[in-house]
Amino acid sequence: MTATDERAPHSARTTEPKGARVADWADSRLGIYNFRFLIRKVFPDHWSFMFGEIALYSFIVLLLTGVWLTMFFDPSMRETVYNGSHNELHGIPMSQAYASTLRISFDVRGGLLIRQLHHWSALVMIAALCVHTLRHFLTGSFRKPREVNWLIGFTLLVLVTLEGFVGYSLPDDLLSGTGLRIAEGVTLAIPLVGTYLTMFLFGGEYPGHDVIPRFYSFHILLMPGIILALVTVHLIYVFYHKHTQFRGPGRTENNVVGQPLMPVYTAKAGGFFFLVFGVLAMLAGIAQINPVWTYGPYRGDQISQGSQPDWYMGFLEGALRAMPSWEFVIPGGYTVNMGVLLPAVILPTVLMAVVALWPFLEAWATGDREEHHLLDRPREHPTRTAFVSSIVAFYLVLFFGGANDVIAERFHLSLNQITWAVRIGVFVVPALAYVVTRRICLGLQHRDIEKVLHGRETGRIRRLPHGEFIEVHAPLDQGTAYSILAREDRPIAPAPVAQADGVKNPHARKQMLRHRVSRWLYGNQVPKPTREELLRSLEHFDPASADGHGSSNGHGSANGHSNGHGPSHGHVSSNGHAAALEQQEQQTH
């Protein structure tokens, strides 16, 4: 008998491999083979897409740490006398909620680390969602067919912000209790339904005995369930609509250029999750946050100087501090407190409505009904980008206004002067940011067109035979030139005709409004160069000029014919002009 190391062919085996049997068992019950198309799902590779992943991974950390904290937290307003490890609070009456928070922080092994990890994860998640929303807004990824997903994502941002405020209020310390007192005042300021909402949320006058248990139920059951459902639907729509991508060679409305889900993207996403988790754990270990033991339990007759909410509520705090105490009485003896209603209810509601409905405003103004899977660069839409910058400026003015007492103390300034500066700044700073940002975007468009037509500066100086010194310009690469010239030019809606054949136009007012809105959105754009301008620009990159024998501008070239006019099909010239000419021909046809 002779021994052999050769394996029998697959067809000769009598039993299937164990892995195949396990896969067949799972498929017969779960139908996993029907999802094999997801393995080759392509994800584009761009750094700006990672903010959504940071928010998702922070949410996972929030769920894990939140489950752990529920095992030790007691959401009760029943009064007790503290006698735990923190000697400074011995003998002080407090609620069970506050006492259990102290017990988690000082007596439970690893409790303070988990508390801070939970809090840092909430702050990072909200910050990542804000930047993620800005990225979608600036690049126009909310256009058809993603309007519904935009609304879902924006609703997630609002819900996560409210969830953070509710969770921040659970310890019942002096700082969070002050925030709850403000929230009660805001709720009461809502006309007609304010008192009913206060009874529903707080169970009566604050503090009472019901607010923390009710908020606890909202925090661990209702709101996380809604957020988890919306995240699932949001991701399903991302898979269904396919990912957006920035313009570039080989990228069209019908494809996605990137990495497949398995194994490349899965490995990268898994590594990035542990990186986010590690950064959050590092912050929780070395950066103290929300030290509730320094504030003490909540008492209605006490408040700490310099008390500030978490950053995502800073703009509401600033709006309340900046708003004058206006109120009036309507017939029937009902008092409307505009000092609270306007900054804390009307202002955020209007702001959220404008942001949420922006995709529909753009679609209505342009009459665009096409699907869009390619992203815009922010500079390509100066009005939209300037509008976003004005919103950010508005938010920052109110955010710093919420810290007017801290700024006044640290910089030895007048509190009243800072308050008036905020009141004036909420009107001046956003307008200034809008004008400056729009001019910057138009200037960047001019610079891009200049680079396409005349090349980029190289910093090299050349002396021509007749003694003139010139700077050598290098042509842009094909991908960069294509990305610049592939932008969409949206036409402005035409002005309406007042009457035709003696018949008055019944839709003139609506059409005039649409014309003005579209002119505001897309008017005064820098036009793309024409085909003739692109052909003339090729002369700047004549190879003969590199030796000083051709054009006197000294702009060298890598390829092309000696007359500077390369073929228009884009396969010879390497400076991107031929590809740009081909792009313009496609758009023309």
Give tens-digit pLDDT for 482-522.
888 888 888 888 888 877 767 887 888 888 899 899 999 98
Q: Where are the alpha helices (DSSP H) in 170-208?
A: 174-188, 194-202
Distance CA 15, CA 8 (A): 12
Q: Are residues 398 and 332 in the same domain?
A: no
Contact 88, 32 (CB under 8 A): no
Q: Are residues 371 and 385 in the same domain?
A: no
Domain membership of residue 371 (yes or no) is yes
pLDDT tens by residue, 70-88: 999 999 999 999 998 999 9
Domain membership of residue 93 (yes or no) is yes
Q: Are residues 323 and 417 in the same domain?
A: no
Domain membership of residue 140 (yes or no) is yes
What's the CATH code of the domain at 191?
A: 1.20.810.10
Contact 96, 74 (CB under 8 A): yes
- With a cut of 80, say whether residue 558 has pLDDT above it: no
Domain membership of residue 553 (yes or no) is no
| Dihedral (CA of 301, 307, 310, 314) sign | positive
Q: Cα Rg for the chain, rounded, in angstroms?
A: 31
Contact 179, 165 (CB under 8 A): yes
Domain stops at, among 310, 341, 376? 376
Distance CA 392, CA 406 (A): 22
* Confidence tier at 407 by pLDDT (50, 70, 90): very high
Q: Are residues 307 and 405 in the same domain?
A: no
Q: Are residues 466 and 323 in the same domain?
A: no
Number of domains in the chain: 2
- With a cut of 60, say whether residue 220 has pLDDT above it: yes
Token pair for 117 = 């990890």
Q: How many CB atoms lie within 10 A of CB 402?
A: 23
Q: Where is pLDDT greater, at 196 or 554?
A: 196
Contact 580, 452 (CB under 8 A): yes
Domain membership of residue 423 (yes or no) is yes
Contact 121, 278 (CB under 8 A): no
Place of tokens 């299937």: 16
Q: Are residues 302 and 432 in the same domain?
A: no
> Which pLDDT value is given to residue 540?
62
Q: Are residues 189 and 293 in the same domain?
A: yes
Domain membership of residue 183 (yes or no) is yes
Q: Are residues 207 and 189 in the same domain?
A: yes
Domain stops at, among 356, 376, 396? 376
Contact 305, 392 (CB under 8 A): no
Domain membership of residue 301 (yes or no) is yes
Q: Are residues 529 and 390 in the same domain?
A: yes
Question: 3-state class of 458 per DSSP?
Answer: strand
pLDDT tens by residue, 520-556: 998 888 888 888 888 887 776 654 443 434 344 434 4
Which range is least confidently modeled, 153-157, 161-165, 257-261? 257-261
Domain membership of residue 574 (yes or no) is no
The contacts of residue 290 (CB under 8 Å, 6+ apart) are 115, 116, 119, 168, 171, 175
Q: Angle 291-293-295 (CA atoms, 0-180°, nearest 5)?
A: 85
pLDDT tens by residue, 20-35: 788 788 778 777 777 7
Q: Are residues 423 and 296 in the same domain?
A: no
Q: Are residues 170 and 294 in the same domain?
A: yes
Q: Domain containing 405: what range?
A: 377-498+505-540
Domain stops at, among 376, 391, 407? 376
Cα 504 to chain centroid, rounded: 46
* Confidence tier at 587 by pLDDT (50, 70, 90): low
Q: Are residues 313 and 458 in the same domain?
A: no
